[in-house]
Structures are given as structure tokens and as C-alpha cells.
Amino acid sequence: MRFKLIIAFVDDQQTPGIIRAARDAGATGVTLINHARGEGITPKKTFFGLNLELQRDVLLFVVEQHLARTILQTLAEVGEFDHTPGTGIALQIDVEDAVGVAHQIQSLSEKVEDAL
């Protein structure tokens, strides 16, 4: 079985909805990293030297490759990444090898068979 890693950088207030949508689309789990910061094309404004940007979360999903594109598209739609600047981004990369997912392979096999 081959896997992809989907990495999403999202506003912390969107995190619960995006995780729920990813699970509905086939993700079996997520690793959440809190309090990330980033900057897009236009730097955020400051007020007396204090940064006014929102907190970001980094979401890491290890997903089966046949489900990856659907999950990625779901994240983009729910997070409105392509419609509203500054809402977040998501990307996927190939995973060469993974351990610790043996207990999920049976469930993933059934989902992939249904998706194909």
C-alpha cells in the first residue's frame, strides 16, 4: 500500500471543521501542530509593534494514495483556500515508506476498494 502526506496550514478556528471534513473524505487520522506562524504575499498589519495575525495550525494526514486527491480537494473547499486569501494552504507529497499504520491497513484496504 502506498501513502501520501497531506500538509495543511489553517486558521486555528477552522481546524475542527477541516479535520471532520478530511475524516469524512477518507482520512483515518491527523497529527496537529499548534501555534504555527506564517506570512503570505502581503505581510499582516501590526498595532504598536504587536502582530495582529491569527494563530495557525499545521495538520498532517498520512493517507492512502488513491484517497489523497479527494481529501486534498475537500480541504481546499471546506477551508476556502482558493477563494479567500489568507485562509490557508494544503499540499501533498509522496511518502517513501511508513511504519505504525499496520493496524489501519485493513480499514484502508476496504475504503480503497470501495473508492475504486
pLDDT digits (tens, 9 = 90+) for 83-93: 988 788 999 99
The third-level CATH classification (topology) of the domain covering 3-115 is Alpha-Beta Plaits (3.30.70)
Q: Does pTM surpass 0.75?
A: yes
The number of angstroms, rounded, from the C-alpha of 10 to the middle of its chain's C-alpha atoms is: 8
Look at strands 50-51 and 56-64 and give their pairing: unpaired
Domain boundaries along the sequence of the chain: 3-115
Cross-strand partners of 36? 56
pLDDT digits (tens, 9 = 90+) for 17-63: 999 999 999 998 999 999 887 766 766 666 666 665 667 899 999 99
Q: How far apart are CA 33 and CA 64, in angstroms?
A: 21
* pLDDT at residue 110 greater than cutoff 90: no
